[in-house]
Amino acid sequence: MNDFDFLTGHWNVVNRRLVKPLSGSDEWDEFPGRSVATRHFGGAASFDEIEFPTKGSHGLTLRVYDPETRQWSIYWASSASGRLDTRPMVGAFEGERGVFYGEETHEGRPVRCRFLWTRSGADAARWEQAFSEDDGRTWETNWTMDFSRA
């Protein structure tokens, strides 16, 4: 239940985002972020806000743990879109690595989405997002975030 406790606090974030996902492109945009995460419900919920100062936008993440299924549901909201994504990413941690799956839309077509969270001690973590157009047989990583404790 306390899988995301490591994220509590202030973080500097290095973002790398693929400019044109699912196009065969290998052009990446790198930009900074600052994140603040908090723990709630005795570790069964996690909330963070991230600022992308060079992009002029913010994001919010809400993570809620279901003790019955032993899985997390992750929800994302962005100031750029002005909406909350109501389709959660769902999954769990095994050891230092969490894997979460969900459905996304990319350029009007449905794709599978995967998040990978990797804890690297008390002061570092990594998040990755990948899309699949073939129902998870192959994945293209399109966004990474490297967290270092501020």
Check whether 1 has a pLDDT greater than 90: no
- Give the mean pLDDT of the chain: 95
Question: Whole-model pTM?
Answer: 0.93
The per-residue pLDDT for range 85-112, each reduced to its tens digit, is 889 999 999 999 999 999 998 998 999 9
For the residues of the chain, what is the DSSP string, one character each? --TTGGG-EEEEEEEEEESSTTTT---EEEEEEEEEEEEEGGGTEEEEEEEETTTTEEEEEEEEEETTTTEEEEEEEETTTTEEEEEEEEEEEETTEEEEEEEEEETTEEEEEEEEEEE-SSSEEEEEEEEESSTTSS-EEEEEEEEEE-
CB 16 within 8 A of CB 141: no
Query: What are the chain's domains?
Result: 5-19+27-149 (2.40.128.20)
Amino acid 135: pLDDT? 93
d(CA 140, CA 109): 16
Amino acid (one-letter) located at 122: A
pLDDT at 86: 85
Query: Is the separation of the CB atoms in 21 and 131 below 8 Å?
Result: yes
- Mean pLDDT along residues 21-36: 96
- Which residues share a beta bridge with 77? 60, 84
Task: Specify whether the CB–CB gap between 97 and 106 falls below 8 A.
Answer: no
Q: How many whole angstroms separate alpha carbon 52 and alpha carbon 36?
A: 12
Taking only the tens place, the pLDDT of each residue in 115-133 is 999 999 889 999 999 999 9
